[in-house]
Amino acid sequence: METIKIDKDLMNGKGEWNEKDHPRDEKGRFTDKGNSNTIKKHNNLYVDIYGINDIMNLEAFVPAKTISQAEEYAKNKLGVQICSYKGIELDIANELNAVVQQGIILCPKIKENLNFIGSLNELNNLYEKDLIDFYFQQFHSSVPQLGNDRCLNMAKAFAERLKIKFDNKVYAISYKKINMADERVKIYNKYAGVSINEVWGKDKNIILANVKKDVEDRWHPQGCDTIKSIFDHEIGHQLDYALNLRNNKHMINLYNSISKFNKSVGLSMYSNYSIKEFIAEGWTEYINNPYPRDIAMKIGKIIKKELES
């Protein structure tokens, strides 16, 4: 059973975040990091003062000035095959590019699964178009007597059933390549990667207001109420895919050793959903909260060990 530790110097005695005690810069990033490259113990909380964050800051990110430049950056600098930020605010597009760049620096293997980054809505449009083209060719070649119009209508019906369904409550999504010899799977794999829901990505003020409330409600971890933290969660999934973290025996033991209540209080309510969300939520707190709590610290240490092996 995990014991949740509360440090009254950093919390308000109820396990809640004291925002005023943790200054941020103009981009909303924490500035109260220490200046030691070791993991120190601050009363009951372990502080990863450099470690991961130091690695991730080795290469400076240069924000794009236009959406088209952001798309070109993703393709030319990050090696992403397809990128569309249609309908996405520039600051959010830049933040996703920056987080993906940091993820690649940290774990180059995630590039194998990053074929697409950008708008989830545009991803779905492109995916549906590819499916329509695929099924039209299938129907037209096998039953040409149906005619072009009927083959096209049937292809659209099939594509509609197979296109990605997502809840508009979702901020962002990570998709993983599927290892299967099927033409439809090849189409799906073209769009593996990280995408942002246009509902939230079109206005940073809207998404920030909502994610801040999520943190207040304990749905997401403490110190993780920025746009960056949303995308770090998705990179947590990409690390899981690349390093097979959900099958790591230490991660499984940690996940199983903590009650749902203690996961909710000591990490987030969303971390109870599955081990994959437990990993992503822990990773997000580990690299965004300057004072990651016990559970996030343990998750981060497991991931660091896998990255170093």
- Listing DSSP states for 143-193 in one string gives -GGG-HHHHHHHHHHHHHHHSPP--TT--EEEE-------HHHHHHHTT-E
From 294, 309, 171, 165, select the one nearest 242 (Cα to Cα). Answer: 309
Please check whether residue 100 is in contact with residue 235, taking contact to mean a CB–CB distance below 8 angstroms: yes
The total number of structural domains in the chain stands at: 1
Average pLDDT over residues 55-81: 86
Over the chain, what is the mean pLDDT?
84
How many angstroms separate the first and last alpha carbons of the chain?
A: 28
Query: Is 215 inside a domain boundary?
Result: yes
Cβ burial 278-304 (10 Å sphere, 16+ → b, else e)? bbbbbbbbbbbbbbbbbbbbbbbbbbb
**Rounded distance, CA 100 to CA 115, Å?**
12
Instruction: Extract the tokens encoding 157.
Output: 């019906």
For 147-191, the pLDDT digits (tens) are 999 999 999 999 998 888 888 889 999 999 988 888 888 999 999
Which helix (H) or strand (E) is 196 found in, with range?
strand 193-196
**Residue 302: its pLDDT value, please?**
96
Residue 233 has pLDDT above 70, yes or no: yes
Query: Is 97 inside a domain boundary?
Result: no
Residue 43 has pLDDT above 90, yes or no: no
Query: Is 53 inside a domain boundary?
Result: yes
**Residue 3: its pLDDT value, please?**
35
From 288, 89, 67, 93, select the one nearest 202 (Cα to Cα). Answer: 89
Query: Is 232 inside a domain boundary?
Result: yes
Query: Is 275 inside a domain boundary?
Result: yes
**Rounded distance, CA 56 to CA 98, Å?**
10
Residue 275 has pLDDT above 60, yes or no: yes
Query: Is 283 inside a domain boundary?
Result: yes
38 or 23: which carries more pLDDT confidence?
23
Q: Which domain holds residue 232?
A: 19-62+203-308
- According to DSSP, the β-strands at 193-196 and 45-48 are unpaired
DSSP state letter for 24? B
Strands (E), 15-168: 39-42, 45-48, 82-84, 116-119
Query: Is 134 inside a domain boundary?
Result: no
Q: What is the pTM of this model?
A: 0.81
Query: Is 42 inside a domain boundary?
Result: yes
Residue 127 has pLDDT above 80, yes or no: yes
- In the chain, DSSP finds a helix count (H) and a strand count (E) of 13, 6
